[in-house]
Amino acid sequence: MRVCSIAVLMIVGMAGACAFAADTTTVEELKAHFKAVAGEVDTFTGDYKISMDMAAAGQPAPPGMGTMDIGGTLLVRAESMRMDISMEVPMGDQVMVMKMKILKMDGMMNMMMDMNGMIQAMKMDLTVLSELAESLGVPESALNSNDMGMSMMGNPAKMLEKLEETATLTVDGKETLDGEEVYVLSAKPKEEMLESLQKLPVLQQQAGMFTQGMKVYLGAKDGIMRKMEMGNFMTMTLGNIDLEAEISDADLELVIPDGIQVIDMTEMLKGMFGNMVASGELDEEE
């Protein structure tokens, strides 16, 4: 079984501004302002929509599957998050309904996928990415770029710092989006990160997706992302944000039905990259 990495979610959340004497024009000023004004949001919930055009991303896709519309709910509590996802996947003359639940907390990612009643469950120890990156001689961001700080959405300054590990940020200014004032930032991927991805055959397509860069639109009052554009192939919007939501421990549980085997993707990743090193697929470090 081949593990495919599709950058469905690259959410960047930051916290935002009240009235100030002068507009923020640099990332450092923005981080300082967020630390002083927004602090850290303990919990929030929201609804999101994602539109993806896989052809525009340069990704091969079966006929009828080039464009996908995805929707769902997001729960964030500190650095834990849960996403419930629903999408319709065209399969020839039929449409397959796919539902997913993703839970990330305490360094672990758990996922359950239901495709027309066929259930699969997976888990992955995210801390292994650091070990793999070190053994492959590449930055950790080359393997963990899908995270982009998405589980830090309630801590804007920390998320900016996380994003800067893989991209160069520019504050484009402020504008109004759906009646709300937002900050607009551009994120240009760093060359060293792209080079690291290009070294790994299984991630070369992902590198091609990142080259298009990103734009993120951040709420000026609450700091939560309102919109994110990744090149011309993915747009994500977040609405119905509730900063007063109460998220219980039960909300951050993923209940796997009895009899469903949980596939450990941690061991699969170790095996996949280990085989690449053993077979000499990776360039030797100079």
- Dist CA 274 CA 286 (whole Å): 20
Which band of pLDDT confidence, cut at 50, 70 and 90, is reported for residue 94?
confident
Domains, the chain, ranges and CATH? 27-274 (2.50.20.10)
CA-CA-CA-CA torsion sign (188, 80, 179, 85): positive
Helices 27-37 & 156-163 angle (0-180, nearest 10): 150
Query: Average pLDDT over the chain, rounded to whole?
Result: 74
223 close to 44: Cβ distance less than 8 angstroms: no
Highest mean pLDDT among 30-39, 48-57, 76-85, 195-204: 76-85
For residue 109, list its beta bridge partners: 104, 124
Backbone torsion region of residue 70, taken as left when φ is above 0, otherwise alpha when ψ lies between -120 and 50, otherwise beta? beta
CA neighbours closer than 13 Å in the CB half-sphere of residue 277: 14
CA-CA-CA-CA torsion sign (139, 224, 23, 19): negative
* Residue range 267-282, pLDDT digits in tens: 777 776 666 555 555 5
* Residue range 112-166, pLDDT digits in tens: 999 888 899 999 887 777 777 666 666 565 565 445 556 567 677 777 787 887 7
Tokens representing residue 248 in the block: 């219980």
45 close to 76: Cβ distance less than 8 angstroms: yes
CA–chain centroid gap for 175, Å, is 24
* Residue range 18-53, pLDDT digits in tens: 333 346 678 888 888 777 766 667 788 999 898 887
Q: For 46-63, what is the mean pLDDT?
A: 70
Tokens representing residue 18 in the block: 């009240």
Which band of pLDDT confidence, cut at 50, 70 and 90, is reported for residue 223?
confident
pLDDT at 139: 58
| pTM of the complete model | 0.74
